[in-house]
Structure 1
Amino acid sequence: MPHDFARFATEPVTLAIVGCGQRGRGYAAYALQEPTLCKVVAIAEPRPKTRKIMTETYSIDQTLVFETYEDLLKASADTLQTIGKRLADAVVIAVQDHLHMEVALAFAAQGYHILCEKPMATTVEACVQMEAAVKKAGVIFGMGHVLRYSPYNKAMTEVIRSGKLGQLINVVHIEPVGHWHFAHSYVRGNWARESESSFSLMTKSCHDIDIICHYLYPGGPTRVSSFGSLQHYRKASKPAEAGDAKRCLDCAYERSCPYSAKKVYLDPVTQGHTGWPSNVLVDGLPDIENITNALKTGPYGRTLLFTPSPLTEGFGRS
């Protein structure tokens, strides 16, 4: 079905958000800032409180609110068959990394334009399949490599490509993840195990790889290497003062610990800061009660110095 691009000049692009976590909400927020350019009309999100908040925030009709992307896709297929129209012009894919390929293939087949959060996929083979599906469908596919579009990086790109400062010979680049951020995402969080996600160079530093390649375009890298090991988050590194504590809220060493879950998640909330990273711990409102409960029961409240657990076993191994 041909896409009516001329319509987008006068009407907002309609969006379906698949995955209403931090990244899904982040992309959707643009519709509130620029309502004449895009509008969120459908969502797929399994968590009930998060789903309710998104529905109310974007005034989404209840018939377009789904628990799974499969349900959204089926409803869209029904409307496509009956009235020749999809539920939305484009879909934002903001589910877990290992699901990107299956969601992208499904929506591309229905003719949806796609914005996919980084990384594109967790394997080269998946990326190749996604590229083939997008080309076959003839749809627009965008990656969430947002660094390209910041004023700072746009200025950097212009200077580098212009040659004003001479020829670029090499790049020294450090990804300033931060100790607590790394612990949040890659030890306690959803990217803790390579077998369930991908290696950290891909899951975190793909932004950096992309912007460097963007600087160098039309040139590109000839070789990429990465190395690492499970060195720091080991039982042998656990301070004696921590004793047998399994959770930060029960740990005598907590006040001295740079990885304290109380410091990272709970203390900011007590001071009124309810954004990231605290807001990703709970379904719904990140208040003191909910965050405290999450630290008592969920993975983000575990001690990192250093109790062996499924969260740290296999970390950094390829």
Structure 2
Amino acid sequence: MKKYSVILIGAGIRGTTYTNKMLALKDKFKVVGVAEPIENRRNNIKNKHGIPDDMCFNGWEEILSRPKMADIAVISTMDEMHYAPAMKSIELGYDILLEKPVAPTPKECADILLAAEKKGVKILVCHVLRYTLFFKKVKKIIMDGTIGDIMSVLHVEGVGNVHQSHSYVRGNWHSEKETSPMLLAKCCHDLDILQWLLDEPCDKIQSFGKLTYFTPKYAPEGAPKRCIDGNCPIEDSCPYNCRKLYYESKDNTWFRPACTRGISKADIPTDQEVMTALKTTDYGLCVYHANNDVVDHQTVNMQFKSGANVTLTMNAFNKGGRYIRIFGTKGELFAYMDSDKINVYTFDDSKSTEIPITSSDGSILSGHGGGDGGLICELYDYLSGNYSGFCAADIDISVRNHLIGFAAEKSRREDTVESIDEYFASFGLVND
């Protein structure tokens, strides 16, 4: 059995998660190098995998300036930093596990696809929802013909009010100028899932959405620029009070390390380091006085070649979680991702059936409902040429699904209905 050697470029939450899964598959993967500018993250990977000092680098430029040193490059840098290391890795001949989104612009996505095809390297994109037990079960129900041909789909991505404030108001994805549009940052998963479930080309797309609530217009009168400045009229009741979310909630192993990036060198930051972050970074800003520009609600309408219609709704104003309703010619399917069952109603017998699934917690802290592990398990077979599954999203499939998202953004900005055939053609691709 071949064991694949791996270098990790970007040792944040996603990169660490993927390499942790590889560590559990020691007969298949061996992480031999890491590139990460934050010392404690770099050392964490070094120590877990027994990586020698001379294979630890401060950034992707350093590790990719060397001759090819492994079979696979895992690229899990920030969204806006995928393109350059991906292109250099392709040039060096690495097969790649690439975090989504592929790149923040449609041209860069197309460039990566065309470069990979020319070089003959394999790229698997981390559309981890495909590998969850939940969506695999939904896909199988469709493939089995239980609900017939799909006529319409309603898919809701509930971001969650607190998740929105952390990631898309104060956090890493608050600005599409610095990263990518929120539809790509958050709903790249969902756009991919919908294409995968319908398994046919999208014909036309239209989108509406705005940043409405997390703006100065909704700020309480007298609200300070920073929560910790005091004298906020809703300090005790505000669900976005940064003192409560980051300082007082000491067991939050996601929020506290995230807000102290660049301040703390430890895996668990101190209260003093958290307070420094709240005084000096965007994580301490009032959500109504932040530097955000991404939407807080958006709807995407898609028409597929068969005539099927799909509506994707993404918004911040909920507890959080995904649900999907699929209407077919023989029945309908309804399911919440964080549930342990899928509900199917069939027309021929007028019966509702609950189909059980064994699922991990679908919350934002759960590893995408078990999909992270599923992705790494199938990566091995995909690269070795023995893949017989139906979940893998290679670079060709992924880039096409990304371009549909970019077309939706064009529609939202320009108030148009976009032809996907024409949009693909503008980047030298055929919509098939």
- In structure 1, the partner of 2:5 is 14
CA contact (8 A) 1:90 1:114 kept: yes
CA contact (8 A) 1:44 1:67 kept: yes
- 2:270 is equivalent to residue 279 of structure 1: no
3-state SS of paired residue (1:119): coil
| C-alpha distance in structure 1 between counterparts of 2:184 and 2:70, whole Å | 30
Once the two structures are superposed, the pairs formed by residues 175-214 of structure 1 within 5 Å of their partners are: 175-214=157-196
* Counterpart code for 1:40: V
| C-alpha distance in structure 2 between counterparts of 1:273 and 1:232, whole Å | 25
Alignment RMSD: 1.8
CA contact (8 A) 1:266 1:288 kept: no
| Greater mean alpha carbon deviation, residues 94-103 or residues 284-293 | 284-293
- In structure 2, the partner of 1:80 is none
Structure whose residues are more often helix by fraction: 1
Distance change >3 Å, CA 292–CA 39, structure 1 → 2: farther
Distance change >3 Å, CA 36–CA 268, structure 1 → 2: farther
CA contact (8 A) 1:108 1:139 kept: yes
- In structure 2, the partner of 1:296 is 279
- In structure 2, the partner of 1:143 is 125
Match of 1:246 among 222, 225, 244: 225
- 2:245 is equivalent to residue 264 of structure 1: yes
Once the two structures are superposed, the pairs formed by residues 87-236 of structure 1 within 5 Å of their partners are: 87-217=69-199, 219-236=200-217
| C-alpha distance in structure 2 between counterparts of 1:141 and 1:226, whole Å | 29
* Counterpart code for 2:211: L
Distance change >3 Å, CA 39–CA 265, structure 1 → 2: farther
Map Cα deviations across residues 117-175 of structure 1 (whole Å, 9 max, x no partner).
Answer: 11111121111110111111211101010011111111110111221122211110000
| C-alpha distance in structure 1 between counterparts of 2:279 and 2:49, whole Å | 32
| C-alpha distance in structure 2 between counterparts of 1:263 and 1:171, whole Å | 38
Give, in angstroms, the shift of residue 26 of structure 1.
Answer: 1.3
| C-alpha distance in structure 2 between counterparts of 1:147 and 1:235, whole Å | 35
Distance change >3 Å, CA 59–CA 281, structure 1 → 2: farther
Q: Would you identify which runs of 4 or more consecutive aligned residues in structure 1 move more than 6 Å? A: none
Unaligned runs of 5+ in 1: 1-8, 78-85
Give, in angstroms, the shift of residue 226 of structure 1.
Answer: 2.2
| C-alpha distance in structure 1 between counterparts of 2:166 and 2:52, whole Å | 35
| C-alpha distance in structure 1 between counterparts of 2:192 and 2:129, whole Å | 8
Distance change >3 Å, CA 206–CA 61, structure 1 → 2: same
* Counterpart code for 1:59: G
- In structure 2, the partner of 1:74 is 65
3-state SS of paired residue (2:203): coil
| C-alpha distance in structure 1 between counterparts of 2:280 and 2:129, whole Å | 35
Give, in angstroms, the shift of residue 244 of structure 1.
Answer: 4.8
CA contact (8 A) 1:161 1:216 kept: no
- In structure 2, the partner of 1:81 is none
Query: Which structure carries more relative contact order (alpha carbon 8 Å, separation 6+)?
Result: 2
TM-score of the pair, normalised by structure 2: 0.64
3-state SS of paired residue (2:31): strand
| Greater mean alpha carbon deviation, residues 13-22 or residues 63-72 | 13-22
Match of 1:63 among 54, 77, 84: 54
| C-alpha distance in structure 2 between counterparts of 1:295 and 1:286, whole Å | 16
CA contact (8 A) 2:116 2:123 kept: yes
Between Structure 1 and Structure 2, how many residues are aligned?
290
Match of 2:236 among 237, 242, 255: 255
Structure whose residues are more often strand by fraction: 2
CA contact (8 A) 1:20 1:45 kept: yes
Give, in angstroms, the shift of residue 239 of structure 1.
Answer: 1.1
CA contact (8 A) 1:16 1:92 kept: yes
| C-alpha distance in structure 2 between counterparts of 1:159 and 1:228, whole Å | 32
| C-alpha distance in structure 1 between counterparts of 2:129 and 2:70, whole Å | 27
TM-score of the pair, normalised by structure 1: 0.86
3-state SS of paired residue (2:157): coil
Map Cα deviations across residues 174-230 of structure 1 (whole Å, 9 max, x no partner).
Answer: 00110111121111112111222221111110100101111111x132122222223
Give, in angstroms, the shift of residue 53 of structure 1.
Answer: 2.2
| C-alpha distance in structure 1 between counterparts of 2:249 and 2:205, whole Å | 39
